[in-house]
Structure 1
Amino acid sequence: MAAHHHEIHFSHRMGWLRAAVLGANDGIISVASLIVGVAASGTAGNALLVTGIAGLVAGAVSMAAGEYVSVQSQADTEKADLLKEAQELKRNPDFELNELKQIYIERGLQAELALEVAKQLSQHDVLHAHARDEIGISDMNSARPVQAALASAASFTAGAIFPILAMALSPADFGQQAVFLVTCLALLLLGGLASYAGGASIGRGALRVLCWGVLAMLCTHWIGGWFGTVV
């Protein structure tokens, strides 16, 4: 009995990988930068912890809302395209069959084989065949607004937990430094894991994420310190 050979390609992970990395990265950098900036203004103690928690809640809700609206718009567009394609299939099935045939010819099939493939796929599920090969809509990349919103909020929260825990568990006079160190370590870990899952250089990916995070914290620290001396 022949064994089935199934290859795992990195591109299959790009959808969820991008969303997870984006959400977690935003959570870490946004909340850490917020805490560092407010601390630089002279605020200390429980106010910094409250600032971090408020940043987590606001950021998670904002990420979820933004992701939902974006993906829902994609879902509405897909629905409209499918409705239009279904109407075209009823109005002119021969033209649509030839259109599918031409797509397969452009992909390298000979005309006779392309026509046969188009006919067989049309007999099985004609709308699905046109959705996948003509429009580019498939089960793998179809829009799921609620799922995307929940995943975005969860990944943001997972990232934001690191600087908040660093602030909550560290001594009062070491809170800002602890947030900075823990955030750097979390960013290195996140960048490395994302690069590993995507098949890229782990070191380069980790440093890329770290540099942007450090830059954000330095900017908010400078602005917080400046306002602390002016106000």
Structure 2
Amino acid sequence: MSDSPALAPHRDEPHDRGAFSDRVNRIRAGVLGANDGIVSVAAVVVGVAGATSDTQPILAAGLAAVIGGAISMALGEYVSVSSARDSQSALIEKEKRELREQPEEELAELAAIYRAKGLSEATALRVAEELTEHDALGAHLEAELHIDEHEVLKPWQAARASGLAFLLGAVLPMLAILLPPEGLRIPITFAAVLLALGITGAVGARLGDSPWVRPTIRVLVGGAIALAVTFAAGALLGAAVQ
């Protein structure tokens, strides 16, 4: 007997919370890292190219931006996610201690949460008791704190994804500024960077199952402003020292 449409699972909805959490974490770190690699390195090389047409300082500044940016991106992501993980771990340990020291109060608290959601007192108590028998810690973490003991954030995973994404994003502006003839460097870099930002914005939105137009426009506008400002600053500096 086939499942009725009303009872069939929604394939487009994330029912595996652990996999969905990891996926969102990777997408966030990867897209942020790639966008930052594209924009920050492009801004540096475009700014230097606005000041001088000599390839050597453009290459040196670009490499410094790539190496420093990748390390900074990975380190910042590691520190940020580690802080969030430490907070999660502290909350989990606190809940474990409360369940050991005052199990009756915790059961009453869990039942009260379900009463507040609309269950009758008897049903709420029954639900709390059955969930406690099955997995007391998991039930309290989900109901009270909306976290899962097995979904603690992974700082090294986020750091690797962010740092690698930065490096991959940084390759494009480096090639775009170094390979074309001198007279075409700036327009080709502008076009390549904006195209790449549009792609990463749209792909990141689609992978996260969200509309892609507004996120894509945001990254395009931000990237265009960054390039225009740094190029203008480099051109002014180049004119001042000549």
Would you say the 8 A contact 1:67–1:145 is kept in 2?
A: yes
Kindly indicate whether the alpha-carbon contact (under 8 Å) linking 1:28 and 1:163 is maintained by their aligned counterparts in 2.
Answer: yes
Contact 1:34 1:55 in 2 (8 A): yes
When normalised by structure 1's length, the TM-score is 0.89
Give per-residue Cα distances to partners, 1:184-207, cap 9 Å, x unaligned.
Answer: 110111122233334444333322
Counterpart of 2:113, as a letter, is I
Residue 76 (structure 1) aligned to one of 67, 81, 86: 86
Q: Assess, with a 3 A threshold, how the Cα gap between structure 1 residues 118 and 219 changes in structure 2: closer, same or farther.
A: same
User: 2: distance between equivalents of 1:118 and 1:215?
Assistant: 55
**Other structure's SS at 1:147 match:** helix
2:132 maps to 1:122: yes
Q: 1:200 to 1:92 in 2, by over 3 A?
A: closer
Q: How many residues are paired up?
A: 231
Question: Could you list the runs of 5+ residues in structure 2 that have no partner in the other structure?
Answer: none
Alpha-carbon shift at residue 68 of structure 1 (Å) = 0.8
How far does the alpha carbon of each residue in 1:161-190 deviate from its partner, in whole angstroms, 9 at most, with x for none?
Answer: 211222243234422222111001101111
Q: Secondary structure at the match of 1:224?
A: helix
Mapped to 2, the partners of 1:166 and 1:21 lie a distance apart of: 20
**Where does residue 113 of structure 2 map in the other structure?**
103
TM-score between both structures, scaled by the size of structure 2? 0.85
Which residue number corresponds to residue 142 of structure 2? Answer: 132
Structure 2 residue aligned with 1:90: 100
Shift of the alpha carbon at 1:210?
A: 0.7
Aligned residue number for residue 7 of structure 1 = 11
Using a 3 Å threshold, how does the CA distance of structure 1 residues 76 and 199 change in structure 2: closer, same or farther? closer
3-state DSSP of counterpart to 1:109: coil
Q: Aligned AA for 1:130?
A: H
Q: Is the 8 A contact 1:35 1:176 kept in 2?
A: no
The verdict on how the C-alpha distance between 1:137 and 1:200 changes in structure 2, with shifts beyond 3 A counting, is closer
Residue 206 of structure 2, aligned match among 193, 196, 206: 196
2:41 equivalent to 1:37: no
Which residue number in structure 1 is paired with residue 194 of structure 2?
184
Q: Which residue, 145, 150, 156 being the options, matches 2:155?
A: 145
Distance 2:25 2:2 in 1: 32
The equivalent residue for 2:167 is 157
Give identity over the alignment, percent: 40
- Alpha-carbon separation, structure 1, partners of 2:25 and 2:149: 13
Amino acid at match of 1:76: D
What is the RMSD of the two structures over their aligned residues, measured on CA atoms?
2.3
Which moved further from structure 2: 108-117 or 178-187?
108-117
* TM-aligned CA deviation for residue 54 of structure 1: 2.1
* SS across alignment from 2:52: coil
From the superposition, tell whether residues 67 and 163 of structure 1 become closer, same or farther in structure 2 (CA, over 3 Å): same
Structure 1 distance, partners of 2:64, 2:58, is 10
Partner SS, residue 5 of structure 1: coil
One-letter identity of the residue aligned with 1:29: V
